[in-house]
Amino acid sequence: MKTRAHVLIEGRVQGVFFRSETLSVARQYHLTGWVRNLPDGRVEALFEGAEEDVERAVQWCHKGPPHAIVRNVQVTREPYQGEFETFSIS
């Protein structure tokens, strides 16, 4: 079953390669969507794909890359829309 997750990550998550590592994780799990920095210091991501693969990416966001310090992760589950062809950094 395919699903969609909208994720907001708080902590020391900008300037630590969070977006590029998220791109690598998304590609590893064959997910589509995007990741971007927000002006308030958070990182926002949207993942679409197979339910277990989306869950793996969401779980990775709780840890992030080696120099990140993740303090909070908000996840909103949404219906799969299939609107993306790839995963990108916005």
- How far is it, in rounded angstroms, from Cα 24 to Cα 77? 21
Instruction: Indicate whether 43 belongs to any domain.
Output: yes
CATH number at residue 71: 3.30.70.100
Helix (H, G, I), strand (E, B) or coil at 41: coil
Question: 87 lies in a domain?
Answer: no
Q: For residue 88, what pLDDT band results from cuts at 50, 70 and 90?
A: very high
pTM of the model: 0.96
Report pLDDT digits (tens) over 23-72. Answer: 999 999 999 999 999 999 999 999 999 999 999 999 999 999 999 999 99
Quote the pLDDT of residue 90.
92
Number of domains in the chain: 1
Active site residues: 19, 37
Q: Helices in the chain by DSSP H: which ranges? A: 18-28, 51-61
Range of the domain at 72: 2-77
